[in-house]
Structure 1
């Protein structure tokens, strides 16, 4: 019976794979069998235009020489997108599935069992099974309680905050009382053990936490290299999410305000991690990825910058979803390459799994597409042409090649999405700010095929509602 259930499950899942291009392919062949280390650094609300390599840096009053050099040493993407909010982006990176599938399609605000169900299979679980030491340091935002914390989802150890940084402002808010709503805790935990709270996440701790995230990340890499074990170090920085407060040691370093000081601190923290990789002698065998979870911070006085794009997180505009991305892997990823090919953050699961030989689930619809040959320069073309854009549980738009089809109008996160009587089409080459609809209606055909493929894939695997408790199993496997 169990085998027949699994067969039925895989048959249902295969519908999606046929429609969305198969991603299950053999492991990348390498000259040796040594698995590469992975240092994955994810910034929080870092806009497309913040770093020098993307037109920011000194133009923002904040030189970013380390990250600019990292961009020159590998591949820099100019057309990679994430989801519209931080929880969905983190979910899609972790699971290789659009967050609408997993009940993680919006930032949770309490009152329900938020986060990933234990049925979801994360890249940390896949890499752990493949022999990696795994750790997450920083922001999680995919579950707040034991059972749904990083050490329950494949990470050997973790340190950081279970939710988000703006909660550090609660203690300074008028009328706030921890007797009514307790402050978020900075926590740590190890696989197989309950996580434990360390201290309240206050504004004071907010200024210090990224330095501690960096210190622990460095220590973890040092320990694993000494032990002779490949590592997956997921560094989930809390900067530049509001309140954008630099570490006291960086306060005033630029003379251009907290935002600039913060960017310089972030660049310095990345520099410490990269120096550790070099000093440990594992540079050539370490994949380094730096990216952001969505578009820029925009609350005054913490203004980020989306470069040439319009919009911020929570919107389907390019400024809300297009992010910086750079990857370095010496002798594998050609240095100095820049590409405008379409990639999505969800693709990181299949890409890293193929490179490392890790397991990709075949018992559920996967949205992740293997981009390993594209990233390593064996192909100049991405394996992806487009994707749906969700705002919470609403399909806001579809992107395909250089066009975007908007079903709703929404200029900021505070604007309710307004259903358009007639969807409008944008050519991003001629209108990067998405202000002048075109009449290129022929592009609706491939765009609507993307929507139809996604909808077809949900027939055997209904979307998981937000707040679904554990244990969870899809109807087809009950």
Structure 2
């Protein structure tokens, strides 16, 4: 009997030690923040909108200078949650309210990865992966969904234009985005409309809930995974009263400064709870800024030296701020090795001991050895970019290759991003050397035609994967019966 009790005690002790070895993980995902919007990337005081909290996080962790995402909110979020190119989940385009694309129940998410390893899981803030029940965070591995923005912030602008159109109030109310909270059984309840007035309050509420969760879970036995989906700096740039006029760069700068402050609140909560040394913090943006899109008064985003903006597949749309901190495990430094948003799924799985699915393609690569310094460089040197299910760009080493070239629209002002055009050339792709020509102004196909071979190889490998694992049908708003 004594031996039995001793055995049980040793098992419990080993289990407790294992729980302590597994890090807590906090992911913070900013919305439409460009490469040139953060102090650590050359902005800050120079642009009249300092970001001391995010800058400090960057200095204490691994700061990526070649971090690549997908060209919009929904595609990047799908890639982050599943480790797969967004068309594999049928989410290669940005979800607009009323369209049918949604995250499928068959996908395996970060929430489910962490849940499989005994983590408490919580999602706070913007989701934007579909409104059907199968795609709710609480049906995708998260214990709770708080201050939930299921759609996107530009929906706060719809009421005014719908009223001016003379639509009935019932239709307007049904179309207006909401703020959602999960109940004990995982069902979601709409607790308020997401209005222009609440737009000013939502970021503070997201931070408050995140801070409270960290304080509570720091006392628990099991580790936790917290996903914070910020809404800044997506237009409209409306901020809490204490941040109005805070920057020298107008409403967009105010939104950047509020985002930095809210980030600091979460970081302070981790320190106050005494769990900083055993907590991984990942801070990234979902896509580039939108310098020419949205209301004029909300513009001001900057994608640094790169051309492009959210909605297209140019470098400025896809290359964004990103950093990861894990004290004692990830040495503070900056790296220009290529990392993509898809890579965090297999990397975090490796760190927490979770198995990744083997019944589907996983496009992310495990970067844990690179992050922790066991190898000098990233395992990635390429990335394919899609709009819908169409291949629209390939990045290979320092080259960006386009089957059709992205160009700004006609009109005054000329528009880029999702409002721009694509032009097919005379049978050849466009090739730009990003290191030599970050603005992508000189097509080098005539002198770098040899790059077409690796370009076709990468595309061929992807297309062959579809033979065994075909993509679901993409939602297309400009093509029908195809």
**Contact map agreement 1:155 1:191 (CA 8 A) in 2:** no
Question: Alignment partner for residue 447 of structure 1, among 449, 452, 455?
Answer: 455
Within the alignment, does 1:140 sit opposite 2:127 as a pair? yes
Calculate the aligned-residue CA RMSD, in Å: 1.7
Match of 2:469 in 1: 461
For 1:33 and 1:241, locate their aligned partners in 2 and report how far apart those are by CA, in whole Å. Answer: 37
Structure having the larger proportion of residues in helix: 2
Within the alignment, does 1:44 sit opposite 2:31 as a pair? yes
**3-state DSSP of counterpart to 1:227:** coil
Question: Alignment partner for residue 189 of structure 1, among 182, 186, 208?
Answer: 182
**Contact map agreement 2:405 2:430 (CA 8 A) in 1:** no
Q: Measured at CA, do residues 294 and 352 of structure 1 come closer, stay the same or move farther in structure 2, by a change above 3 Å?
A: same
Match of 1:243 in 2: 236
The structural deviation recorded for 1:273 is 0.5
| Number of aligned residues | 438
**Contact map agreement 1:37 1:286 (CA 8 A) in 2:** yes
Question: Alignment partner for residue 420 of structure 1, among 417, 421, 425?
Answer: 425
**3-state DSSP of counterpart to 2:34:** coil
**Contact map agreement 1:166 1:241 (CA 8 A) in 2:** yes
**3-state DSSP of counterpart to 2:384:** strand
Match of 1:88 in 2: 75
The structural deviation recorded for 1:393 is 2.2
Match of 2:108 in 1: 121
**Contact map agreement 1:251 1:258 (CA 8 A) in 2:** yes
For 1:331 and 1:32, locate their aligned partners in 2 and report how far apart those are by CA, in whole Å. Answer: 18
Match of 1:21 in 2: none
Match of 1:371 in 2: 367
Q: Please, which runs of 5 or more residues in structure 2 have no aligned partner?
A: 1-16, 408-415, 477-482
**Contact map agreement 2:117 2:354 (CA 8 A) in 1:** yes
Return the index of the structure with the highest Cα Rg. 2
Matches within 5 A, 1:9-48: 34-48=21-35
Match of 2:156 in 1: 168
Match of 1:19 in 2: none
- Return the TM-score normalized by structure 2: 0.88
**3-state DSSP of counterpart to 1:330:** coil
Question: Alignment partner for residue 58 of structure 1, among 24, 40, 45?
Answer: 45
For 1:190 and 1:54, locate their aligned partners in 2 and report how far apart those are by CA, in whole Å. Answer: 40
**3-state DSSP of counterpart to 2:268:** helix
The structural deviation recorded for 1:111 is 4.0
**Contact map agreement 1:44 1:239 (CA 8 A) in 2:** yes
Moved more, 392-401 or 49-58: 392-401
- Return the TM-score normalized by structure 1: 0.89
**Contact map agreement 1:115 1:467 (CA 8 A) in 2:** no
Q: Please, which runs of 5 or more residues in structure 1 have no aligned partner?
A: 1-29, 469-478
For 1:103 and 1:65, locate their aligned partners in 2 and report how far apart those are by CA, in whole Å. Answer: 38
Query: Deviations for 1:251-290, whole angstroms, at most 9, x for unmatched residues?
Result: 1223542122111111111111001100111111101111
**3-state DSSP of counterpart to 2:87:** helix
Within the alignment, does 1:400 sit opposite 2:396 as a pair? yes
For 2:237 and 2:97, locate their aligned partners in 1 and report how far apart those are by CA, in whole Å. Answer: 23
Question: Alignment partner for residue 309 of structure 1, among 293, 306, 310?
Answer: 306
The structural deviation recorded for 1:241 is 0.2
The structural deviation recorded for 1:303 is 2.2
Moved more, 291-300 or 31-40: 31-40
**Contact map agreement 2:312 2:420 (CA 8 A) in 1:** no
Match of 1:157 in 2: 144
The structural deviation recorded for 1:429 is 1.3
Within the alignment, does 1:340 sit opposite 2:336 as a pair? yes
Query: Deviations for 1:340-374, whole angstroms, at most 9, x for unmatched residues?
Result: 11111011100100011112000111111001111
Match of 1:321 in 2: 318
Match of 1:437 in 2: 443
The structural deviation recorded for 1:167 is 0.3
Within the alignment, does 1:293 sit opposite 2:280 as a pair? no
Query: Deviations for 1:41-88, whole angstroms, at most 9, x for unmatched residues?
Result: 000000011011001111221111111111110111010110001100
Which of the pair has the greater relative contact order for Cα pairs under 8 Å at 6+ separation? 1
